[in-house]
Amino acid sequence: MEADILKGHVSKDHAHLYVSVPPHVSPSHLTRRVKGRSSRKLISEFAAIQKACWGRHVWARGFFVASSGNVTDEIIREYIEKQDLPKPDDNFKVGDGS
């Protein structure tokens, strides 16, 4: 597809990909391919995922895509790199703590 992943980060509940794609490749088509191939690879390598996702999907149906036309490549790379840093509310808990 002539797509290059320039930067990426995987969290426990979502993933960020900064991708360079030719204009003839639609974001939805690229997303379908990435989700499909990655889910097959994950299931084939990790039996626990196959058991946990049996009859369901590895990835959620939705996705968000944005063009980088209004910001620089450096700002996007910096944003993705900061996903690894601990956030002030990482210790947020619901309940009385007992």
pLDDT in tens, 11-33: 877 888 888 899 999 989 998 89
Report pTM: 0.63
**Most confident of the following: 10-19, 25-34, 58-67, 73-82:** 25-34
Q: 10 forms bridges with which residues in the sheet? A: 15
6 close to 19: Cβ distance less than 8 angstroms:
yes
Q: 2: which residues sit within 8 A by CB, 6+ positions away?
A: 21, 22, 25
Sign of the four-CA dihedral 67, 69, 73, 79: negative
Q: Which of 54, 12, 17 is nearest to 35 (CA)?
A: 17
Q: Kindly report which listed range (11-15, 45-49, 86-90, 94-98) carries the lowest average pLDDT score.
A: 94-98
